[in-house]
Structure 1
Amino acid sequence: MTPERARALWIALEPLHGVTYFTPQARAAHEEVGLRGFWRGYVAMRAAPLGAAGLGLVTAAFFNFAPRFLARSVPSVWEMASPAAALRAREAGAVAALETHLPGARDGLGGVLPVLRRVLADVPWTGALGAANAALEMPEDPLAALWHAATVLREHRGDGHVAVLTAEGIGGLEAHVLRDAEDGSRAMITASRGWTEAEWARAADGLTARGLLGDGLTEAGAKLRGHVERRTDELAAIPYRGVTDDEFALLDSVLTPLARALVPAAVPVPNPVGVPAP
């Protein structure tokens, strides 16, 4: 399993998880258990595998949000809905969304689910969100099982991404500033991650002093961005090491058409969480 193949599978799986946040079915499910508003639902459903986590753990695990932004939801969301209720709501909402946008998809999953179950057994428990989701039982329903696999693998990949950025001395805000220099995502990010203009400017000044930012990304900045993505893909490939060429072809042939049916119909592009167009 090459990093390129791992990245291809991430691109195919990410939209299957993305319905958890962007669809009316998902919002209805979390509001039904008392999680009113988009951000309360997002924070509770994503953090729920960690238990009734406090602000410090959620901020560290999510990595790229301003702490004050998350403080609007944590820990108060656990008074609105328990982590167990949030877990049930996120699965129910995601499955309802997938049923709406991928009618008949259950019938084509018989071949890929055994492969994904084996892959999940190889997910290393080295990051908070990946490990917490991997510890949850895989649902019996095929569509729920597919969503669960997508969730575990995307959070495992995210944990690896955070580890690589941290090793390079890049924090969550700095990662956003570097991304903006490449794709112009600043307005979307500041609105959805809670960083102030002053904080953004300080981060940009620090990156400029390191020679990573100038009139856009410098050569060193572009090299660092490339290294981070490559190393992230290498770490994300670890659970797939037992996947054969034929199994990869099967996963790609089944998952990529599903992703294309979801983007942008159910999951908008561009978006703050980084779901790419398949």
Structure 2
Amino acid sequence: MDHEEARTLAYRCHRSLDSLHAMVYFAPEADERFSAAGLQPGQMGYFASRSAPMGAVEPGVVAATFYNFNPELVARHIPRAWTLASPEKILAARFDAADAALRRLLGDAVSSPEVAEAATLAREATGGCTPEGRPLYAGHAELDWPSEPHLALWHAVSLLREFRGDGHVAALVANGLGGLAALITHVATGKGFRPKAAKTIRGWSDEQWDAATAGLREKGLLDAGGALTDQGSELRRRIEDQTNAAATGPWRKLGPEKAVRLADLGRALSRQVVEAGAFPAGLFAQPRA
């Protein structure tokens, strides 16, 4: 597999699989399980459950690894979350939430041969992930594998997502884009959150957003209307190219034939969870599947 094919497969597989993991962040089952574990309703469960594999870390660690969230928002939930429930209890609730959400969204297909096959392939792909410089991935990689295929698939996709995400953060740092600037320029590509959703979910005020946008205009990355300039588009293209290049390990491990098969399986399953209402309407600028 040459470098270009590997980068293309890295992007294709990410796009086809990501909804199978990300659905847990919007599933009502998650808030129910985290509240039952002792956490406050709302975003506390997100911050605590995603960072829990790293242990009871301080808010600065969470903000650094999550990257584009307002650190002030993170600090409202971390470290208080650890006083309400242990990381181990939170992780158990997270897997329970993923189990319940996938059963609801996939219905009878949750126990299908396709899910089992996708789980086997995705787990094999994770064998090509390495922990160096990937703190979120490394934390999640230490967790035990679930036995049920649909949960093994969810965990495998989680590992692949965090592995890619850590590499993406490295690319953003190398190209001089801080968290908020990265979020704004990604929104400007039309491939991520809509602006209002990005501000709300990531915790940025209109004033903070506007100030950062003005700074990006001064650098020539955004035009007067907030759209990417040619320079801005080239920067985002370079970042995505570097992200894909850093994410090729799993797909080289799996090989092109199996990777294409996993992408096809993932696309069909992702489409099913999206059509079942996994994500709120109007959240993203483009359809998830």
User: Per the shorter chain, which TM-score range?
Assistant: over 0.9
Map 1:77-116 to 2 at 5 A: 77-102=81-106, 103-108=108-113, 109-116=115-122
Per the alignment, residue 144 of structure 1 pairs with: 151
% identity of equivalent residues: 35
Match of 1:268 among 275, 280, 287: 280
Q: Which residue pairs with 1:179 in the alignment?
A: 186
1:203 corresponds to which residue?
A: 212
Deviation at 1:112, TM superposition (A): 3.2
Partner residue in 2 for 1:47: 51
TM-score (norm 2): 0.89
Given that 1:176 and 1:186 are in contact with CA atoms closer than 8 Å, whether structure 2 keeps it comes out as no
- Equivalent residue letter for 2:121: V
Where in structure 2 are there 5+ consecutive unaligned residues? Answer: none
Moved more, 69-78 or 98-107: 98-107
Q: In structure 2, the residue corresponding to 1:52 is in which secondary structure?
A: coil
Question: Deviation of residue 110 (structure 1)?
Answer: 3.5
Question: Does the C-alpha gap of structure 1 residues 176 and 253 become closer, same or farther in structure 2, counting only changes over 3 Å?
Answer: closer
Residues 54 and 74 in structure 1, CA contact (< 8 A), matched pair in contact too: yes
- Matched-pair contact (CA < 8 Å) for 1:20–1:93: yes
Work out whether 1:74 is the aligned partner of 2:78.
yes
> Deviation at 1:156?
1.1
Please state how far the C-alpha of 1:209 moved relative to its aligned partner: 2.2
Q: What are the ranges of 5 or more consecutive residues in structure 1 without an aligned counterpart? A: none
CA-atom RMSD, angstroms? 1.9
Give the superposition deviation at 1:7.
1.4
Quick one: distance in 1 between partners of 2:272 and 2:100? Answer: 15
- Range that drifts further, 84-93 or 8-17: 8-17
Distance in 2 (CA, whole Å) between partners of 1:97 and 1:121 is 26
In 2, are the aligned partners of 1:269 and 1:276 still within 8 Å (CA)? no
Q: Determine the C-alpha separation between the residues in 2 that align with 1:249 and 1:180.
A: 28
Distance (Å, rounded) in 2 between the aligned partners of 1:160 and 1:193: 20
User: Secondary structure of 1:140's match?
Assistant: coil
Alpha-carbon separation, structure 2, partners of 1:252 and 1:63: 27
Greater Cα offset, 17-26 or 190-199: 190-199
